[in-house]
């Protein structure tokens, strides 16, 4: 006898009936080592691609409304265009070998994306338009070392630490960061990545020896989380200026 399937009306409109007990085939990329077991829900949500890319292992969520449906409590894994919700997580000793590549290992498989910041805000700005944080968005437009209004500059002249936060269009597993410094270069002392959940990750702190004009370039071991924003912490006597910031990563 065929097992009964409980299907919401919304899913019935979009998909044909299936049973979690044995009717649905889970893509290998969702659970390559059997990390989770007991599939209890498949929730279609194509719009989440803009936030999570093609793949994201979210982990445990207590459940709630999501994409017009009631999401169940469990371990959530995103593989475009669906969320797969599992009942349990296996212990480390129970995991099988990684017999096939996972989309989670996007460093070797994904598409490399190079993008300039699309939005920015800062601890202070020398002007509302000229030298504002917005001047650090987009591709470089300052070609020489000097005090140019097309770059961001803080209001104080180096008397206190400053920061500028850049936002990028596509979340990526970050592998490299490039910052175009165009005045009083050598002012970055810390780099923080912000993931799509808002968590902050310090990936570098140290001495910046960038010439003026020049590129501060930071190679990053591919992050296991999707990066949406970058925070640059700066301080140097005089007015530091940032012309453009590029984030490179895998999607």
pLDDT tens track of the chain, all 251 residues?
Answer: 434 443 343 333 333 333 344 456 788 888 877 889 999 999 999 988 877 778 888 889 999 999 999 999 999 998 899 999 999 988 755 545 443 333 333 344 578 999 999 999 999 999 999 999 999 999 999 999 999 999 999 999 877 999 999 999 999 999 999 999 999 999 999 999 999 989 999 999 999 999 999 999 999 999 999 999 999 999 999 999 999 999 999 98
Q: Is residue 196 part of a domain?
A: yes
Tell me how many domains the chain contains: 2
Under DSSP, the state recorded for 146 is: S
Q: Is residue 1 part of a domain?
A: no
Q: Which residue has the tokens 């936002």?
A: 167
Q: Is residue 82 part of a domain?
A: yes
Q: Is residue 231 part of a domain?
A: yes
Residues 133 and 223 grouped into a single domain: yes
Q: Which domain-ending residue is among 45, 79, 104?
A: 104
Domain with 130, as residue range(s), is 112-250
pTM as predicted: 0.64
Q: Which domain-ending residue is among 57, 77, 104?
A: 104
Q: Is residue 239 part of a domain?
A: yes
Residues 123 and 219 grouped into a single domain: yes
Q: Which residues of 107-128 are buried (b: 16+ CB within 10 A; e: fewer)?
A: eeebeebeebbeebbbbebbee
Residues 89 and 178 grouped into a single domain: no
Q: Which domain-ending residue is among 104, 138, 160?
A: 104
Residues 86 and 181 grouped into a single domain: no
Q: Is residue 130 part of a domain?
A: yes
Residues 91 and 178 grouped into a single domain: no
Give residue 54's pLDDT. Answer: 80
Q: Are 204 and 191 in contact (CB under 8 A)?
A: yes
CATH number at residue 178: 2.60.120.260
Give residue 234's pLDDT. Answer: 97
Residues 129 and 210 grouped into a single domain: yes
Residues 99 and 122 grouped into a single domain: no
Residue 231: strand pairing partners: 165, 192
């Amino acid at each position: 006898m065929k097992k009964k399937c409980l299907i919401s009306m919304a899913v019935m409109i979009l998909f044909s009936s299936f049973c979690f007990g044995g009717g649905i085939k889970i893509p290998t990329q969702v659970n390559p080592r059997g990390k989770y077991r007991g599939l209890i829900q498949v929730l279609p949500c194509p719009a989440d691609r803009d936030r999570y890319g093609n793949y994201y292992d979210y982990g445990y969520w207590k459940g709630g409304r999501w994409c017009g449906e009631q999401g169940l409590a469990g371990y959530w894994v995103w593989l475009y265009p669906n969320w797969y919700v599992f009942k349990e997580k296996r212990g480390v000793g129970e995991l099988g070998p990684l017999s096939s590549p996972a989309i989670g290992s996007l460093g070797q498989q994904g598409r490399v994306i190079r993008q300039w910041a699309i939005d920015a805000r800062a601890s202070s700005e020398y002007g509302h338009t000229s030298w504002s944080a917005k001047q650090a968005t987009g591709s470089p437009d300052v070609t020489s070392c000097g005090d140019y209004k097309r770059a961001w500059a803080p209001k104080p002249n180096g008397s206190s630490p400053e920061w500028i936060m850049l936002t990028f269009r596509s979340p990526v597993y970050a592998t490299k960061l490039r910052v175009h410094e165009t005045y009083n270069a050598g002012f970055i002392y810390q780099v923080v990545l912000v993931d799509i959940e808002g968590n902050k990750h310090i990936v570098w702190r140290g001495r910046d020896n960038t010439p003026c004009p020049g590129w501060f370039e930071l190679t990053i071991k591919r992050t296991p989380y999707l990066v949406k924003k970058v925070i640059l912490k700066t301080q140097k006597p005089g007015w530091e200026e940032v012309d453009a910031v590029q984030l490179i990563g895998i999607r």
